[in-house]
Amino acid sequence: MKKTIIIIAVLAAAAGLIVWGVIASRNKPSFATVKATQGDITETVLVTGTTKPTQSVDLSFERTGKVSVVYVQVGDKVKAGQALVELEKGDVLAQLAQSQAALAVQQAQLDALKTGTRPEEIAVQEVTVANAQIADTQARKSLLDTLDDAYAKADDAARGKTDENFTNPRTSTPTLNFQSINAQYSIDLQNKKVIIENSLNSWKLGLAALTTASDLLTASADAQNRLAVIQDFLDELVAALNNVVPGSATATATWKTDAAAARTELGAAVSSLAASETALRSADSAMMLAQKNLALAKAGSTPEQIASQEAAVRQAQASVQSVQVALSKTILRSPIDGVITVQGAKLGQIVTVTTASAANQSLISIISEKKLEIDAYVPEVDIGHLALGQPVKITFDALPGENFSGKVMEIDPAETVIGGVVNYQIKISLDSSDQRIKSGLTANLSVQTALKKNVILLPQYAILQNDNGIFVRIPEGKTTKDVPVKLGIRGQDGSVEIVSGVEAGTEVVNIGMK
């Protein structure tokens, strides 16, 4: 009996333990937790950039000519002011000699005024006036012909080469034959087409009334204004043709070619008109000067006449200086100390300078030899965290395993759209130079934007964010409760600063893990 009682008691105890285990297992939370810790956190922005020279220049000539001497090749080191390429300058030297001779003449005339005029000198001055008048008449006829030619070129550019882009092109209601992505182009071009039609018609009537005795300089200024309106029209037409809605036109390529040819033709008209106008002004000036010199010779020298001739001397001196400037433009010089990276000049090559509306092709490129920086683009979501002077950790794909440092030295205030995404360009300066670092290397940048010490930290995966706010889940028995938290900066390792809501040591639910 005693044995039986003991066995029953043992069995009862075992059963109790089993029941307690079942109940305990049912009460045990079915989720994993993570503990809030206290420590330091660093916020960084990671971007990739490319090394660039701090100074780089692309050089081209400002005048047309034939290459006569090439002093450098790619890889050569150059100093600021060093000659790189020369053009043939025989014509400029001749102009210089001519202008220096003209200066000598003017100076001689000034000397003659001061010493008195002989009858022979008066006769010479009369011949000079007659020649100046002939030259002035020829310059006026030349400008008159140039005005007619400018009209012809403008008519061909604005009508002959662009009418194909319009329906009813020479009426008051022209309609653009294609659709541009920018609808404003259609409105502008149609309005400008009407204005140009009226301008060409009135211009033609005005030209018919001109003679060599007319005020040709005023007529030339009027022509320049009309050409500028047509140039603006052609520029916008080219822009519209470069942004045609796909499928809206069948001859876009031809139209683009014609529009480009029209711009070139109009540019030639502008240049010719400016040259003829300059020639007439010069001829007028020469004639007036000759007439004044003759008057001086006949009337004798007065203080006022001497002052006028002195001004003529200064004008001749300015002409000499102008040609000297042109002579200096036959030599391409380096503006900086650096290394030649592009050298496209060849002996005998004809260097052509395009019109002012088109960029001249670079002939030589130079970069600074030792001073490098890193250019990178930062997405708009990160740019607000960056500031000048922030430290940057740098690694280069070309130098694996090595670390470098630098600082943010420039942040572009204007955006740059790359692939439809808004970015901002930044420039990073290197704290030290290294001869192994070349221009064009890929640089991996880690910009430290913030550092906080002794703050509460949780991993990112323990944070819950929904329409109601930002929370962490804290276990309460078999359930949890959502506790609002305020977040600070985020670390590169996935940790997040908790500004308020939980304390160090608090257990929170590891979201996504059971």
Could you tell me the pTM of the whole model?
0.41
pLDDT in tens, 89-117: 888 899 889 999 999 999 988 887 777 76
d(CA 368, CA 435): 13
The pLDDT value given to residue 482: 84
Percent of all residues in the chain with a pLDDT value above 90, rounded to a whole number: 32
Decide: helix, strand or coil at residue 136.
helix
pLDDT(230) > 70: yes
Distances, alpha carbon 5 to alpha carbons 2, 9, 10, 13, 17, in Å:
5, 6, 9, 12, 19
pLDDT in tens, 6-51: 555 545 555 544 444 444 444 445 678 888 888 888 888 888 999 8
pLDDT interval class at 3 (50, 70, 90)? low
Alpha helices in 156-251 (DSSP H): 183-208, 216-241
The pLDDT value given to residue 384: 85
Write down the CATH number for the domain with range 372-509: 2.40.30.170
pLDDT(121) > 80: no
pLDDT(59) > 70: yes
| Rg over CA atoms, the chain | 41
pLDDT(135) > 70: yes
The pLDDT value given to residue 355: 58
pLDDT in tens, 473-513: 888 888 888 889 898 888 877 788 888 888 888 888 887 55
pLDDT(460) > 70: yes
d(CA 228, CA 234): 10
8 Å CB contact between 331 and 86:
yes
The pLDDT value given to residue 244: 85
Lowest mean pLDDT, pick from 6-15, 48-57, 121-130: 6-15
Q: Which fold has domain 59-87+330-367?
A: OB fold (Dihydrolipoamide Acetyltransferase, E2P) (2.40.50)
Q: Greater confidence, 498 or 357?
A: 498
The pLDDT value given to residue 299: 72
8 Å CB contact between 440 and 50:
yes
Q: How far is CA 42 from the centre of its chain?
A: 36
The pLDDT value given to residue 22: 41
What is the DSSP code (8-state) at residue 244?
Answer: B
d(CA 158, CA 99): 40
pLDDT in tens, 305-323: 788 988 999 999 999 999 8
The pLDDT value given to residue 138: 94
Partnered with residue 220 across adjacent β-strands are: none
**Stretch 265-269: mean pLDDT, rounded?**
92
The pLDDT value given to residue 430: 86
Percent of all residues in the chain with a pLDDT value above 70, rounded to a whole number: 90
Most confident of the ranges 2-16, 176-190, 362-376:
176-190
Q: So where are the chain's domains?
A: 59-87+330-367, 117-300, 372-509
The pLDDT value given to residue 220: 92
**Stretch 421-447: mean pLDDT, rounded?**
86
**Stretch 408-414: mean pLDDT, rounded?**
90
Bin 440: left if φ > 0, else alpha if -120 < ψ < 50, else beta: left
pLDDT in tens, 367-385: 876 678 889 999 888 888 8
